[in-house]
Chains A and B, each alone.
Chain A
Amino acid sequence: MATQPRRDESGRAEANKSAPGGAASFKRRWGGGRRSTAAPYLFLLPFFAIYCTFLLYPTFSALWLSFQEAVALDVPSFIGLDNYVRLVQDERYLHALRNTTVYALASVFILSPLALAVALAVRSFLVPSVNLKSFYRIALFLPFITSFVVIALMFSLIFNKDFGLLNAFFRSVGLPELNWLRSERLAMVSIVLVGIWTYLGVNSLYFLAGLQNIPHELNEAAAIDGAGRRKTFLYVTLPLLRPTILFVVVQATIFSYQLFEIPFLLTNGGPSDATLFLSQYLYEVGFSQFDRGYAAAIGYSMALISIFLTVIQLLLYRRLTR
C-alpha cells in the first residue's frame, strides 16, 4: 500500500529523462497527468483573478471611458480625445491642478526636509536611550495609521476660529486670531499643516531606516580625516541617503496627487475652491455632475502627471549619482 507514492516518483523521473522540453515537458508544466505542477498556478489564481477583476479591468475600462461622452444614464458615445482637450480649457481643472501642485511642492520641499531633520534628531545624541527611540518610532508611526476621518475631525477642532486650540494659543500670546479653514489665504496652509502632521512621522521612519544602513565606519573615517558634523552630513550622510530621499520624494509626490480625504472633510474644497484638489474635482465631476467620461479623463491625467514626475525624479537621481 505504501508503494503508490514510489511509483509516482519513478514515473516522474522517467518522463524527465525521456523527453526534456518535449510533449512530456509541456504536460508536466501544465499538469497533464502531473497534478502537482499545476499547484503553484492554482495558488496564484485567486490573486490574479482578483487583480484582473478589481484592478486591471477597471483600469482599462476607465481608459476606454475617457474617450467617450458618458453623461448620466445616456448610452456612451466615442468622442476621441475631446475629454482631454476639455481638460486644458477647464478653468476649475487648472485651478485644482495648481492647488495640488502647490501641495506636492510643500510635501517635497517642506515635509521631506523636516522628516529628515526629525530622523537625524531621533538618531542623534538628543535621544540617547534605546527604549526612548522605540517610543519615538511608535509615536511617529501613529499619525500615519490614524483614520483620515479622525484626523479631519481633530483638526477641525484645532483650527476652529472661535474655540480652536490654535487660536486659543494665539490669544494667550497676544497674537490675532486667524480663520484657518475659512480664509482663502490660510486654508491651503492649514491643509499643508495637516499633511505634515500626518506624514512627517512615517517619512522620518524611512529616513531613520536609511540612516541606519550607513556604515558607522564611514562617519568614523570622516571624523579621523577632520570632518566636522556639518561636513560629515553633507559629504557622507546625504549622498548615501540618496535612494531614501528618492523614495520619500516619489512617495510624497504620488500621495500629493491622490490627496482627497483631508481637504474633502476639512474644507470641502473651499472657500471658493482655495483647497480644491484634483481628486475632489474628479469626485465632483464623476458623482455630482455624473460626467463619467470626463471624470475618467481627469483620473488618467492624474496618473500621467504622477508617472511623468516620477520619471523626472528617477532621471534626476541617475544624473546625480553618476
Chain B
Amino acid sequence: MKRMLTRRGFLKAGGGALAGAYALGLAGCGGSEQGGSSKNLEFWGFDEGRVDFARAAYESKAFKSKHGDVKFNFRILPYEQMHDKLLTALVSGEGAPDVADIEISRFGQFIKGDRVPLLGLKKRIGDDINDIYKPAAVDPWSWKGEIYGVGNELNTVVMAYRRDILEQAGVKLPFETWDDVIAAGQEVSTGDKRMFAIHDLSFGDHYMLMQEAGTAYFDANGNYNGDDPRSIEAMQFLHDLVYKHKIAAIAPAEADNNWAPPQYMAAFRAEKFIATWGPPWHLSYFIDQVPDQSGKWDVQELPSGLGDSRPTANFGGTGQAITEQSANPEASWDLIRAANLTKEGVLWDFEARTAYPAYRPAYDDPALAKPNEYFGGAKIGQLYSDIASDLPPFRQSPVWPDTTEAIQRDVITPVMNDEADAEAALTEMKGTVEDLQKEQ
C-alpha cells in the first residue's frame, strides 16, 4: 500500500516534531554538566590580549605536563556583558565557566552578601604568596582573609612626559616636586596646549593621586575614607591644575569610553597634551597609538609634594578566578598558576602587552631590564621594580563599584567642571556610601 502524505498530515507531523524538539530542548537545558565533562573546561574573558595570555598558559609546559587531556574553551565577551553574565550564572547556579577574568573594579559585586561564589585560593597559592607583590596580585580579589583571584600585572603608577618639549622649554628634569611640575607646565601651556589631560568622567586621576597622598576610598575596616584631608587635597589639586594653574584641561573622553578613547589619544598625537601619569597598561596606549613620538618620552616616579608623597600608586588590573561551579578546580587552578605564578607565564604577557609582572622571581630575566625605546631608552622595568615596594595596599569593598560610580557622578564630574567644592563633595559622599553599605 502506498500512502500519500497529505498537506494536513505533513503539517501535523511537523507541528508534533517542533513541539517534541522544544520539549526535549527545554529538558536539555538543565541536564548537562558544566563544561560537558571535567576534561572540557571553560574560560571567560573580556579582553583579547588577556585571553591570549590565558591561552598561552594553557599551551605551556607547566599546564600540559599535568593536564594533557584537558581542553579549555576560551570565550571573549564584551566587558559589561561578561561580568553581568557571570554574575547571573552564579546566582542561577547554572552556566558559569570554570575560570573567569574579573576586572578589579567589578570584583566588589562578587563579594556582596554572605556567600562568595568563587573558590578560595589561599591554600593553593601557598608559599608562592611570598613571591608576589600582594597589593597588585591578590589584594584586589581578596575578601575577609580569603583570596579569590590572582592577577599578573604590577600596576605601579608613574609619570610620563615629552622630554624633548620640556627640555626645549628649559625645564630641569626629572621633576622633584609637583611645584616643579606646575612651573614647567606654565612654561609649555600656551594657546590650546596644556601639560595634562585630567579626566572628569573617571575617578582614576583622583584615586591615583590620593594614594600618592597616602589614603584610599576605604580604610582597613572597610569604612569610607574619601573625606580624609589627603583625599580632599588630591581632589583640590586636580581642580587647581585646570582652573588655578591652568596647566591642564579636561580630558577629551566620553561616556562609553571614559579613559582613553580615540579623541584622547588624538589630542596627544596633536601635542595638545604632553604629559600624563598612569600604570603600565595606560602607557602601553601611547606605544600603540602614538607611535610617531617614540623616543621623545621619558618616565619617572611620581613627584613629591602631595600628602605623604608616595612615589607611586596602584591602578587597575584583572584577576583570574575559579567559580564554585567549576567541574575541575585542580586543572582550573593549574591554569591560573601557569599564567600568574611562573616565569614563563608572566614573561609571555610582558612581551605581548608590556604587562610588568607582580611575580618577583621573573625580575632577574634580562627582558625586563631592557631599555625601552619608546621612553627614550629608560629602563622602565627597573623603575617599576624600584618603586613596587611602595605600592599602597588595595582595600576591597562590596560597595566598591557603587562607591566609585557615585564618586564619579557626584564628586569628580562636578568638581572638575568647577561646579562643586572638592571638600564639600567628598564629605557629602560619606552619607551616600554609608547608605550603600546599609543596603548590602
Contact = CB atoms under 8 A, between A and B. Distances in A.
Contacts of B252: 161-162
A53 interface: yes
A287 B91 contact: no
Contacts of B116: 73
B165 interface: no
Interface stretch (B14-22, B51-59, B310-318, B340-348): B14-22
Interface stretch (A10-18, A214-222, A231-239, A265-273): A265-273
Contact of A39 (B11, B201, B410, B440): B11
B26 A53 contact: yes
Interface stretch (A44-52, A198-206, A297-305): A44-52
B401 interface: yes
Contacts of B90: 73
A181 B402 contact: no
A270 B263 contact: no
Interface stretch (A101-109, A136-144, A248-256, A288-296): A288-296
Given A74-B113, A270-B201, A39 B8 contact: yes
A272 B114 CA distance: 32
B414 to A, nearest CB: 6
Interface string A260-285: 00001111111111000000000010
Contacts of A39: 8, 11-12, 15
B67 to A, nearest CB: 29
B117 A272 contact: no
Interface string B286-310: 0000000000000000000000000
A45 B263 contact: no
A268 B255 contact: yes
Contacts of B414: 272
| Best-buried of A38, A39, A267, A273 by chain B (most CB within 10 Å) | A39
| Best-buried of A163, A184, A289 by chain B (most CB within 10 Å) | A289
Contacts of A160: 254, 263
Given A36-B8, A265-B255, A270 B19 contact: no
A247 B199 CA distance: 44
A315 interface: no
B73 interface: no
B27 interface: no
Contacts of A150: none
Interface in B390-405: 398, 401-402, 405
Contacts of A181: 254-255
B439 interface: yes
A292 B417 CA distance: 34
Contact of A46 (B8, B18, B439): B18
Contacts of B2: 1
A267 B409 CA distance: 12
A155 B432 CA distance: 33
B439 A45 contact: no
A270 B255 contact: yes
Interface of A: 1, 35-36, 38-39, 42-43, 45-46, 49-50, 53, 71-74, 152, 156, 160-163, 181-182, 184, 264-273, 284, 287-292
12 contacts: A1-B1, A42-B19, A45-B22, A71-B439, A72-B440, A73-B91, A74-B114, A152-B256, A265-B256, A268-B258, A288-B405, A289-B402
Return the 5 tightest CB-CB contacts between A and B, nearest first.
Answer: A72-B113, A72-B112, A268-B255, A42-B15, A74-B113
Given A50-B22, A272-B410, A289-B402, 11 more contacts: A42-B12, A49-B26, A72-B112, A73-B112, A182-B417, A268-B255, A271-B200, A271-B413, A271-B417, A273-B409, A288-B109
